[in-house]
Amino acid sequence: MIRWNFYVPSLHHGDRSRPMIAISFDDGPASETAAILDILHAEQVPAAFFCIGNKVKAAPELVNRIVSEGHLIGNHSYFHGRNFDWKNRQEMLQEIQATNEAVFSICGKKMQCFRPPYGVTNPELSQAITLSNMQSIGWSLRSFDTRAKTDNGLNKRIQSQLQNGDIILLHDSMAISAGILTGLIRDCRKKGFTFARLDSLLGINAYA
């Protein structure tokens, strides 16, 4: 698992001494991306979107909107297939590069941040990431929004675990995540947290 840093050195959280957090979304552009962008714009919160290459090609307008509205765009493989972690180094590298090329062709950004599908790492992926000169990005607070049953339950789960420096993992394919987002942002601010873009939280470069 990515959080073990066993095969792939990954960044999972920011400074634990500061009440600053980051929100990240995986698996888009997807059905809820536009609604989530509307909320982030209204609340003036930057986020990170780890995008799947074939979805990028199908929704270039959302890719442009993510970037133009000041959010980070990252690489989440090209197909996000269930067999991704069974592929060899070259096949993984091809997916990473194809997604980088798709994003660059749309918005001119050379992405530096990669989040492995399912958070699974192995020696083949370690080599592919090294060859692509990408930085592996994990998370410290997994929302489990793909399994959540109620808005209130999801919001409570996140807030009960929230710590300084956290990177929250959500999915812009989930209506429940869009549904709680405004309340989550406002509740976090009431508790004294501020929101930073993921690259700022981690002190890294998002783009080459």
Among the residues of 118-207, which ranges form H helices?
123-132, 151-161, 175-190, 198-202
3-class SS of residue 94: helix
Choosing from 26, 27, 145, 172, the catalytic residue is 26
Which amino acid is present at 137?
I
Choosing from 71, 76, 171, 172, the catalytic residue is 171
Gap between the Cα atoms of 78 and 132, Å rounded: 14
Task: State the DSSP H helix or E strand holding residue 28, giving kind and residue range, or none if neither.
Answer: strand 20-28
13 is catalytic: no
Q: Return the beta strands (E) in 69-166 as ranges.
A: 72-75, 113-114, 135-137, 141-142
Write the Ramachandran bin of 150: left for phi over 0, alpha for psi from -120 to 50, otherwise beta.
beta
171 is catalytic: yes
What counts of helices (H) and strands (E) characterise the chain?
A: 8, 9
Q: Looking at the annotation, which residues are catalytic?
A: 26, 171
